[in-house]
Amino acid sequence: MKKAGILLMLLFVAFYGTAQDGNYISKKKNATKIAIMGGGGSHDFQKYFGISDGKILSKKGKNTVNYTEDNKELGKLIGDTDVLMLTNNKPLDANIKSGIFQKVNAGNLNLLIYHPSTWYNWKDWPEYNQELVGGGSRSHEELQEFEVRVIKPDHPIMKGVPSKFRIVDELYRWEKDPNAEIEILAVSRGLKSGEEYPTVWVVKHPKAKIIGNTLGHDERAHDHEAYKTILKNSLEWVD
């Protein structure tokens, strides 16, 4: 029985990928290829964005998910990637920046831009926030409970998401770029401050589908059913 259990585990890993590193490799032909870029400071990128979110994005072996924090590895992955999830606040090299824009502008790459990557991280890359994120954050409230309110309940990304829910996270003071075209789907309000900011939005790009989401600091966000539902719906919408 013990040997059978080990064999079953090995078969699961071979088919679905290894939960230890955030890589979930599908055996299916024409599987959607998803790359997740993490890394930087203040977050456990691999544990939450790579392993927890990667498991959801893999859809039980339907999709291939590769998590990395290495510029060179992302450079190798990007050419064959269908969906790129950016969750990093570490710099990207010039070739990757160029490659992302080339694929997005050609309509060959859709983006999920989450939590750390919705920030104004890179002063030398203003077009990233202007054209891909639609804005950015420079500060956030203390890690605490706040309220999220869905304002576009009929949008597919909000399907099955409660009209209001509370979550313990960092409330990003995210602001829209004056020249960006976005559709805000959900907003968050500080319970102490009463201040309200966009939380989930769609960037209106002529060729690509791009979703921004400021949630995701730690397990209290990534294990939240509303967060997981939004992530699942987001993948369905961009895939």
pTM, rounded to two decimals: 0.92
In the three-class reduction of DSSP (H, G, I as helix; E, B as strand; rest coil), residue 63 is classed as coil
Count of structural domains, the chain: 1
What percentage of residues in the chain have a pLDDT greater than 90?
Answer: 90
12 falls within a domain: no
Residue 21 pLDDT = 86
pLDDT in tens, 113-169: 999 999 999 999 999 999 999 999 999 999 999 999 999 999 999 999 999 999 999
Mean pLDDT, all residues of the chain? 93
Q: Is residue 18 part of a domain?
A: no
Query: Would you state the pLDDT for residue 3?
Result: 52
Assigned domain for 117 exists: yes
Residue 104 structural domain: 33-238
* pLDDT bracket for residue 8 (50, 70, 90): very low
Side by side, the strands of the sheet bearing 182-190 are 64-68, 33-37, 83-86, 110-114, 209-213, 196-204, 182-190, 144-150, 164-169
Tell me which amino acid residue 7 is: L
Residue 58: phi and psi, rounded to 5, are: -70, -25
pLDDT in the model for residue 159: 98
| DSSP conformation class of 50 | I
**In this structure, what CATH number is given to the domain that contains residue 141?**
3.40.50.880
CA distance 182 to 45: 27
